[in-house]
Chain A
Amino acid sequence: MDGYAGNMVFVDLSAGTVAIQPTPLDLKREYLGGRGFGIRLLTDLVDPQTEPLSEKNAVIFASGPLTGTGIPLGSRYEVSTISPLTGTASSANSGGVFGWKMKKAGFDAVVVTGRSAKPVYLLLDNGKAELRDAAHLWGKTTGQTTDAIVEELGDKTVRVSCIGPSGEKLVRFACIINEKTRAAGRGGMGAVLGFKNLKAIAARGDRPIEVADEARLDVVKERVRAKIQENGIEQALHNYGTAVLVNIINENYVLPTRNFQTARFPNAENVSGETIAKTILKRPKGCYACIVQCGRVHEFDGEAGEGPEYEPDWAFGPDCGIDDLKAVVRANNICNEYGLDAISAPATIACLMEMVEKGYVDHPIRFGDAAGMLALVKQIATREGIGDELAEGSYRFAEKYGHPELSMSSKKQELPAYDPRGIQGYGLATATSVRGGDHVYGYMISPEVLGAPEKLDPYVTEGKAQWVKTFQDLTAAIDASGMCLFTSFALDAQDYADLIATTTGMPIDTTELLRIGERIWNLQKLFNIKRGFGRSDDTLPARLLNEPLQEGAPKGQVWRRDEMLDEYYALRGWDTDGIPTREKVEELGLA
């Protein structure tokens, strides 16, 4: 009666056993679910010195209390592990239907440890869990795997979260895909499953999801539904999808182009959300209980699939100097089928393109070569030829050839689609992100470029540290709740607190909500520190600090780390090395 399924399943792949335990009350109270559950369980179970690709690493799938409760946009689940790309305590979030199905099958979390001797998949089946042979699934794409499991179980209600060939091949940025097109994208979660020989998790069931105070929740639900429906930003997401950002970011002269060499792409219109809507869009699509429907179902020249979202659209497009929308979409579809992060894969190709341009690597690829780019995506996906080296990520690749400065990454994870030189607070958020290069652990683009909840001057550093801290903490709490981050364009902390309190019956107000988020953030940080991360890692590629932008309004600007970092650490209650003080650790109950 609190939004939770009530149980977690612990899977020991080495022993081939499963054990079901009740979801502890204190875990719910202090970490909510989702990313909170994942990070708490990971840091409890795994020694900080653990190699990411070793049987001692753990992977946690967890939904939140709001997942699957019928609350608009309450669909998310989170996968947490030590990332083989960054080495940080990391998480990746996905929507679709799987998170809801996991709960209907009776589980708030799946905790995977050990390593199976042979390929297996886990079936969550209406309160029970069992490991099943997956030898026949090994080598299959995510789509083939999903269809095969559905057919084998003879049950179309089953939902599947799985890896493709890239996870099996241990590509350091392999992702996990549910329902064929929704991705827990970043950080190489798929490689960890591949190492463990866990091909998939399938879930089915019809267990009721009950809440603490249905009458009060219904009132809050209607309030948030109205706020989302009336919000102009949410309407635009429906009409044009996330790729509607291409033009506004480009017109602000902050669209990274050709591996961040410039920040404006002359042909951006060709890959914009407006062009997608006009040319290849068949219909919008949403996740479970979604009333926004930002997803894009496309169809052209016999090719059918979903996307592209803004980030891969930018990365395969402008960042590779490519304006061929169909090539971008095909590349994105390959990522979905093989299970590759569609930010890190293209950003690594863009890095190769610049290495070649500068004469550091001998290869026929050039910026703007769409056919060459498509060939490289497949080579990375299967670790063939140079793809085997690129599968290590842009940082390791560029370092191998003597030029790590050409990897546009932070903590070895490729940066998303915004140039921090013209968006100072965003630069601070991504540089301090506890999972490495990132945009969804505190989306500063919202106030600094889009104007929500209020307009902040993107060129100014003053006051940004406080905004970044608040956004990071609030986002951690939203990720723990099971809500989609896109609700934050319309909802405020009070809305989330009311949704959680009425669903769970726990006394969560806005102060407590942010405190839970801050607890999750600090727990990730403390674990990273034990793994050797420090102040020098909270930064961005030298190019962004030293080479001024050359065009448009932000011409002449660099990212000004030194004006913000000390203030940020102080606001977080951390010392000047970025280490949480004893007082902060005790205050958050992490001592």
Chain B
Amino acid sequence: MVEGGRETNRTGSVMTVTVKSFATFREVMEMQIVLPFPEGATVRTLLADLTSRFDRLDEQLFAAPGTLRDFVNILKNGRNIDFLAGLETSLEDGDVIALFPPLAGG
């Protein structure tokens, strides 16, 4: 993972993305974290980074490698990635990614 994002960002080659977690995901990762990513990174890249940082996140996110668990919802700036390009949804500088485990209410 690229380090020193703020410095290289001036060159346009690195962007920063804010990740927010909710409900049970907060038991295995930080509530909010800002991470640098190289251009061309996707949600898949971001999740790989997160699971390498937070040990127990992988099993909560994925049912099998590359397959999200049922009812896990990931939003990019308020839009579910399922209606963008799924895990291949590209990241852009300043994006907010929200991660939700299965939940409901009413």
Contact = CB atoms under 8 A, between A and B. Distances in A.
Given A244-B23, A251-B75, A274-B22, A235 B105 contact: no
Contact of B23 (A274, A449, A485, A486): A274
Interface stretch (A26-34, A99-107, A438-446): A438-446
Contacts of B78: 251-253, 552-554
Contacts of A251: 20, 22, 75, 78, 98, 100
User: What 4 pairs across the A-B complex have the smallest Cβ distances?
Assistant: A232-B102, A242-B105, A553-B78, A245-B105
Given A248-B103, A450-B103, A232 B69 contact: yes
A219 interface: no
24 contacts: A232-B69, A233-B103, A233-B104, A239-B23, A240-B103, A242-B104, A244-B22, A247-B100, A248-B98, A248-B103, A251-B20, A251-B22, A252-B78, A253-B78, A446-B104, A450-B103, A450-B104, A451-B70, A452-B70, A455-B82, A486-B104, A486-B106, A489-B104, A552-B77
Interface string B69-106: 11111010111101100000000000000101111111
A443 B24 contact: no
Interface centre among B20, B101, B103 (most CB of A within 10 A): B103
Nearest to B79: A553
A242 B77 contact: no
Contacts of B20: 251
Contact of A252 (B69, B71, B72, B75): B75
A395 interface: no
A236 interface: yes
Interface centre among B69, B98, B104 (most CB of A within 10 A): B104
A536 to B, nearest CB: 28
B102 A243 contact: no
Contact of A553 (B71, B77, B82): B77
Given A232-B101, A251-B98, A253-B78, A445 B69 contact: no
Contacts, number: 106
A240 B69 contact: no
B101 A310 contact: no
A451 B106 contact: no
Given A440-B106, A443-B106, A452 B71 contact: yes
A310 B105 contact: yes
A232 B70 contact: yes
B17 to A, nearest CB: 15
Interface residues of A, number: 43
Contacts of B104: 233, 236-237, 242, 244-245, 446, 450, 452, 486, 489
A241 interface: yes
Interface centre among B20, B22, B98 (most CB of A within 10 A): B22
Interface of B: 20, 22-24, 26, 69-73, 75, 77-80, 82-83, 98, 100-106
B74 to A, nearest CB: 10
A352 B104 CA distance: 30
Contact of B24 (A236, A241, A450, A457): A236
A443 B104 CA distance: 11
Contacts of B73: 248, 449-451
Interface of A: 231-233, 235-237, 239-245, 247-248, 251-253, 273-274, 294, 309-311, 439-440, 443, 445-446, 449-452, 455, 457-459, 485-486, 489, 552-554
A247 B22 contact: yes
A253 B83 CA distance: 16
A552 B79 CA distance: 8
B87 to A, nearest CB: 14
Contacts of A310: 105-106
Given A251-B98, A443-B106, A450-B104, A240 B23 contact: yes
A168 to B, nearest CB: 29
Nearest to B27: A239
Contacts of B70: 232, 451-452
Contacts of B82: 451, 455, 457
Given A251-B98, A554-B78, A233 B71 contact: yes
Interface centre among A242, A248, A309, A310 (most CB of B within 10 A): A248
A528 B92 CA distance: 51
Contacts of B83: 457, 459
A463 to B, nearest CB: 14
Contact of B105 (A231, A241, A553): A241
A237 B70 CA distance: 16
A439 B101 CA distance: 22
Nearest to A452: B71
Nearest to B73: A451
Contacts of A235: 102
A65 B26 CA distance: 41
A233 B103 CA distance: 4
A233 B70 CA distance: 9
B56 to A, nearest CB: 15
B79 to A, nearest CB: 4
Contacts of A455: 80, 82
B105 A273 contact: yes
